[in-house]
Amino acid sequence: MERIIIVANQKGGVGKTTTTVNLAAGLVQLGYRTAVIDLDSQGALTISLGFDPYTTRPSTYNLLLEEEITFVDILKDTGKNIDLAPANAELIAAEYKLYTRPDRTSRLRATLQLPRQPYDFILIDSPPNLGLVTVNGLVAATELLIPVATNYLSMRGVRSLLDSVWLIREKLNPQLKLLGVLPTLVHPKATHAKSAIYEMQTVFKQKVFQTHIPYDDIAATAPAMRKTILEYAPNSAVAAAYLYLAKEVSRAE
C-alpha cells in the first residue's frame, strides 16, 4: 500500500529538506520504490537532487495550477532511483493564485489520485509556513513527519503546527496521522539537546523516533555536490542515522 508522508514544520532550519532527501535515499537502499515532491519555492530538494529550480519546467507550480498537467508530466529521473517532482521559483506565486480556486486545498491530492506508476513511498518536502501550498501537502498526505531541531524555540512551534494539522484532519483529511517527531541537529554532548529530546519524549511519548539525527557539516556539503548524504559520506554517523530512520519508517504501521 502506497504511503504518502509530508515532512513539515513551519519553522525553517530544522532539517526538513535534509530529512526528505536522505530518508528517500534510505528507503531506496532498503529496496522501496520512492518519489519525492518539492513544494518549497526555494527548491532546496530540487537542487539536492541535481536540478536547477530556476530553469526546471514543468514543476509543482504547474501541477497545482494547471488542470492539464499531471504528476507523471513533471517527474524527473534523478539517476538515484528517486523520482522527483521538482519545484521552481514560480511556486512562490502559487499561494496567491490558489486562493481564488474552489479546490485550492486539494489540487495535489487530486492529481496524485490519477492513474500513474505506484510507489511504496511518496515524500513531500514542504515550505516553512502553513500557507495553501503546505495545506495541499497535508491534504494529500496520509502521514506527517515533523523534524524538530533540539532547541527550546523549535519545540514551541510544534504545538501550534499540530493545532493546525488536527484542524486540517478534522475538516479536510481524516486519514492524516502523525508518523513521528524526529529530533534533528543533535549535538550529543550539549545539555540543551538532551533537555529538548526529553521534552519531546514527555509530550509525544512513543511518537518520538528512536533515531536522532546528529549535527554534521556534511548535511550542508552533500547538497552542494548534488549528492545525498548516503552517497557523499556513507560511513558517517548522519548517514547511518538516516538509514536507521528509513528502517523505522518502513516498519511503522
Model confidence pLDDT, tens digit, residues 96-117: 999 999 999 999 999 999 999 9
pLDDT at 191 over 80: no
Q: Is the pLDDT of residue 185 over 70?
A: yes
Helix, strand, coil: what percent of the chain each, to 5? Answer: 45, 15, 40
DSSP states of 143-170: EEEEEEESSHHHHHHHHHHHHHHHHHHH
Q: What is the pLDDT of residues 209-241, one digit of tens each?
A: 999 999 999 999 999 999 999 999 999 999 999
Banded model confidence at residue 124, pLDDT cuts 50, 70, 90: very high
CA distances (Å), 130 to each of 48, 96, 135, 139, 230, in order?
A: 23, 14, 7, 12, 30
Mean pLDDT, range 38-52, rounded to an integer: 95
- Closest to 32 (Cα-Cα) out of 101, 86, 81, 105: 81
CATH topology of domain 3-147+217-248: Rossmann fold (3.40.50)
Domain ranges of the chain: 3-147+217-248
* Separation of alpha carbons 164 and 169, rounded Å: 9
Do residues 150 and 186 make contact, with C-beta atoms less than 8 angstroms apart? yes
Cα–Cα–Cα angle for 30, 215, 198, rounded to 5 degrees: 90
The pLDDT score that the predictor gives to residue 194 is 83
pLDDT at residue 253, rounded to an integer: 65
